[in-house]
A and B are shown apart, each in its own frame.
Chain A
Amino acid sequence: MKRWEPYILWLGRIVLAVLFLWAAWGKISDPQGFARALWNYRMIPDPVIPILAIGMPIFEALAAIAILLPPLQKGGSIVLLGLLGVFIVALGSALARGLDVDCGCFGEGSSTVSPLLIVRNVALGAVALWSFLRS
């Protein structure tokens, strides 16, 4: 590992943690809005939506905290990587179907789905993967 790598890695982990905590906060404070955003993707069975709307933001927040704690970094990284993978698939599917909907990334009222969001999530996924490999 190069000398600067640990610092850049930590910076990456902090960026991931801050972004996911910010995103989780928006969803935890308005689960109903997030549920509606999930429904708009037309991919999730209706009975599952409330459970995801309540549980997913908490899972995100805990993973964001875990990625900053050395004993839990591996688990936190793989969870964030998995979540980003799911988000990329959902965004790609929405775009492919021509859905003009709220991405729900930071709760209801977030930006509309767009290719830029996929690019962003791929970049974040690369950081999460790097964190996992170096944990």
Chain B
Amino acid sequence: MEVILLLAVTVAVAAGLQATRSNPLPLTLPSSVWGLESHAKWIDNARARELYSSGDGLFVDVRTPEEYISGHIAGGVNLPPSLLFELYETFSSWTEGQRLVFYGSREDSFALDEVLLELEKMGHTDLLAYPEGWEGWVESKGATEEGEDPLLNPDGYWDEEEAWDDDEGYEESNWDEQGDAGDGE
């Protein structure tokens, strides 16, 4: 009888803790989560939607730029591991003070963990990981968009056709004067 009482109180306390925690442990987890070594807190689809709706989280997509362009969580940015060091300064200044939620592809935790571990080494704390990723977001009918991420990749994402505007002529300001002007020739 006492054991049943203890079990009942356990269930009640557990439910209460889950309801009141800012980042409760998800009750269902994709198998890829067990490969994550970083200390980022995992969040589930419901919590991701909550952060998105409240505007409290900035979603960072760690997939390749091509995957990002073909579809990503609306309003998010792209930070693949291959460009992490190159974009870090811009990324840090742009995201300062924001709650960062990192996601990638559900079945491939490697890129997600790589970015998280590097950022943790650089001193970032309180990072959130959304292991359900792009697939989980689409399945839960979250808001998505397609297209480039010009804020973090000004040199890599400009569309050549947009740079050559028939009405205004070639917009030199669209290109980095010091760097590669792209495949204009």
Contacts and interface: CB of A to CB of B under 8 A. Distances in A.
Contacts of A31: 25
A114 B42 CA distance: 30
B151 interface: no
A61 B13 CA distance: 11
Given A62-B9, A66-B6, A75-B1, 4 more contacts: A55-B14, A62-B10, A74-B2, A75-B3
B41 interface: yes
A72 B25 contact: no
A130 B14 CA distance: 29
Interface in A64-119: 66, 72, 74-76, 78-79
Interface residues of B, number: 22
Interface of B is mostly: helix
A59 B2 CA distance: 12
Interface of B: 1-3, 5-7, 9-11, 13-14, 17-18, 25-29, 31, 34, 41-42
B25 A53 contact: yes
Contact of A78 (B3, B10, B42): B3
Contacts of B5: 72, 75
Interface stretch (A1-9, A11-19, A44-52, A120-128): A44-52
A21 interface: no
B17 A54 contact: yes
Which of B3, B5, B7 gathers most chain A CB within 10 Å?
Answer: B3
B43 to A, nearest CB: 10
18 contacts: A31-B25, A32-B42, A35-B25, A39-B34, A46-B34, A51-B27, A54-B18, A54-B27, A55-B14, A58-B17, A59-B6, A59-B7, A72-B2, A75-B1, A75-B5, A75-B6, A78-B2, A78-B3
